[in-house]
Amino acid sequence: GMVGLIDKPEHITSQWFKDNGDAIILLGQAVNGNDPLLGLGGSALVQIEHGRKEGTPPPCDLARESALHDTLLGLIATGAVKSAHDCAEGGLAVALAECCISQLIARSTPRLTGAALDLAGLDGVRVDALLFGESHGRVVITTSEAEAGAAVERAGLFGVPAVRVGTVTGSDTLDIAVGETHFSWELNELHDLWWNTIARAMQQ
């Protein structure tokens, strides 16, 4: 767990996508090229697909982490950031899915907000590592379309990689394109898996 203090309530930033047309930006290096396992060591993908929980976890660069979080907090302070979610367990694809499905209007009643991602700008990386690698130091944020360019530029000034990767669409699906490879997931199905898996496991 963690305890912290946010001085200004207006700086509280939730993880779910807000408005159709908002820009989706990835802060941080998509995949750590210095990691020979590309963020897949000890990952959820390896455990689920291969039934093995092993491998060297991704290395952590404290200087990069500090720069990323200083940049993120600075962007939040400007009022430009509408949502922010770290890429942790499950990697980028899972973070994006949670951004689409995690807002609850009432208990067990979600507000599902679709998105379309084009990761062509991150090509040259293995698709499994790009989507499900668990490299440290990455955050998915959204801004209005008007604020997107300035947010990317500000991150660059602090030496933090930033790239526009998609748009909030408000559709019923999460769509991700990586070159010629396309993925599409129904949000109703994703939310059911995310929300009800523990309850189902306990009932068995």
Answer left, alpha or beta for residue 75, where phi above 0 means left and psi between -120 and 50 means alpha: alpha
Q: What is the pLDDT of residues 137-175, one digit of tens each?
A: 999 999 999 999 999 999 999 999 999 999 999 999 999
CB 48 within 8 A of CB 172: no
Q: For residue 91, what pLDDT band results from cuts at 50, 70 and 90?
A: very high
Structural domain spans, the chain:
16-203
- HSE, CB side, 13 Å, CA atoms: give it for residue 136: 16
CB 99 within 8 A of CB 115: yes
Q: For residue 123, what pLDDT band results from cuts at 50, 70 and 90?
A: low
Q: What is the pLDDT of residues 42-54, one digit of tens each?
A: 999 999 999 998 8
Q: Strand 139-143 relative to strand 23-27: parallel, antiparallel, unpaired?
A: antiparallel
> Tokens at residue 13, please?
């930033």
Homologous superfamily of the 16-203 domain (CATH): PurM-like C-terminal domain (3.90.650.10)
Among 108, 168, 159, which residue's Cα sits nearest to residue 137? Answer: 159
